[in-house]
Chain A
Amino acid sequence: MGTGEPLIRFKHAAIGYGRKVVLSGVDLAVERDAFVGVLGPNGSGKTTLMRTLLGLIPCLKGQLVLSGAGGRPPRLGYVPQKERLDPIFPLSAYDVASMGAYRRFDLMRRLRREDDRPLVERALAACGASALAARAYGDLSGGQKQRVLIARALASEPQLLVLDEPLAGIDVSTQKALIELLRKLKVERGLTVLMVSHRIHVERGLFTHVLLCDEGEATIGPTEEMLSGGRLRALFENEP
């Protein structure tokens, strides 16, 4: 996958929950600036891989090495599935987006919340969500919520953006608009992106690489190379 120190490297890793191994022998690297589609059938370990990468669960065996600028772990921006966030919270779109800025939080900033406003407003503007800022997050449509969640991730000034099925449950025209947004953000901000997806038809042009989780294993390669393989084609040939 190109030259230079990879941003993400799994070394002989086994990942899963508790004692249950979901993926074993994971030995792969993700280069900086890649746009990786994490694909695979239901229950194949896509989400488990993502949660391991985010530091939510540890590797059961082996190692995960994250090398950002200066050898430090990269700043992570995370976009969860929009249904995961409970609508009972009385938050505006701005409130949700501003959570990304909590990384910069210290004792003095605690007392000067307005310092974060330009950063959050820029993130919302970059996602075409400025007009949504004052609206209740729970009242937004699926596509609008996704824009706000991407803005929240951007407000954390990430080097690595991880998205969990951002196009699920969204109409086709909004999906295309979000894909364009992600393409633009990746180029403008030099992001490395990992996007978990159930499908490949719409997103195909977006991914530079595909990480396929299937039958307890994870493999990565350039998109066209992976698509020419029989397994991936077989998985997605019936996709609408």
Chain B
Amino acid sequence: MEKLFEILRPDFLLHHALYGSVVVGFVCPLVGVYFILRRLVFWGVALPQVSAAGISFAFMLQGFGWTAFAGNEADERHLAILGALLFTGLAILLLAALDRRGKGASEGRIGALYAAAGAASILFVAWNAAGETEMMSLLKGELVSLSEEDLHAMLNVFGVVTASAFLFQREFLLVSYDRDMAVTLGRNVLLWDVALYSLVGVTISLGVMTVGPLVIFGFLVLPPMAALPWARGITSLSLLASAIGGLSAFAGFFVSYSHDLPLGPVIVVVASAALLVSGLLHELAGRRR
């Protein structure tokens, strides 16, 4: 309990890291529910890896002396976010365009993208030994220290993502559930797809910068899956998944801090435990009915 009170104190040394991971835990499942409902779970694996490749690429450029934005640590971080956004955005555009053509195996493309992005992440780092430590800790899910300014910027962006996810929930639901119906109702399916994918891209890019690709994949998939059996409608699914994500992040941080374990894997294990408990409870509830 002492450790719990310690991390809750405002002057806790890692309070930015705690707030950052909990906010990512709350927000990621809000876009993750659409991965589950659209049966695009593999996107959730590949895109964080692509995002990590973008960050790795930005570090490599800095290693080669390309410092268009990068002058101090904060600027390096901004360049890395830019790399993540660029790579994730291009990957989403590519996957969405190929899916719209409807040809070939979608899973195969995503698998190839994941493999290429994973390899690129490592190679980009190999070409820039200076960024290796930071990048490797990011890939393992070690929380990169967040400055006050970065935390506020993240809160602002994730605030917009959260507001958009709820404000445009009907459109996102309609184009995900029945695209043909959306067209007959005069909705621009392409526009709403782009809007949804933009939220996904921003969330993944910022999230990967904060907690790494492993944790982001976990947050995109595990809380929505744990919430799904209990949800009655898209709003309850979103709220429940978000709550499970946020609480998993907090519990994971607490366990990680109190037992000196790496944060990322602990958060994923906690979220996995939530999925397991949810499944068991649902099974029990089904037997009683």
Seen from chain A, the residues whose Cβ lies within 8 Å of a Cβ on chain B are: 51, 54-56, 76-78, 80, 84-86, 88-92, 95, 99-100, 102-103, 105, 110, 136, 152, 156
Contacts and interface: CB of A to CB of B under 8 A. Distances in A.
Contacts, number: 67
A90 to B, nearest CB: 4
Contact of B174 (A51, A54, A56, A102): A102
B184 A102 contact: no
Contacts of B171: 102
Q: Which of B174, B177, B185, B233 has the most chain A CB within a 10 Å cutoff?
A: B185
Contacts of B170: 102, 105, 110
Interface residues of B, number: 25
Given A84-B180, A99-B178, A105-B170, 15 more contacts: A51-B180, A56-B183, A78-B180, A78-B184, A80-B178, A88-B39, A89-B173, A89-B234, A90-B232, A90-B234, A92-B233, A102-B170, A102-B171, A102-B185, A156-B184
Nearest to A78: B184
Contact of B234 (A55, A91, A152): A91
A88 B176 CA distance: 11
A55 B183 contact: yes
B18 interface: no
B233 A95 contact: yes
Given A54-B184, A99-B177, A103-B185, A90 B233 contact: yes
A50 B181 CA distance: 13
B181 A80 contact: yes
B184 A89 contact: no
Given A54-B184, A102-B170, A102-B187, A86 B232 contact: no
Contacts of A95: 233-234
Contacts of A78: 180-181, 184
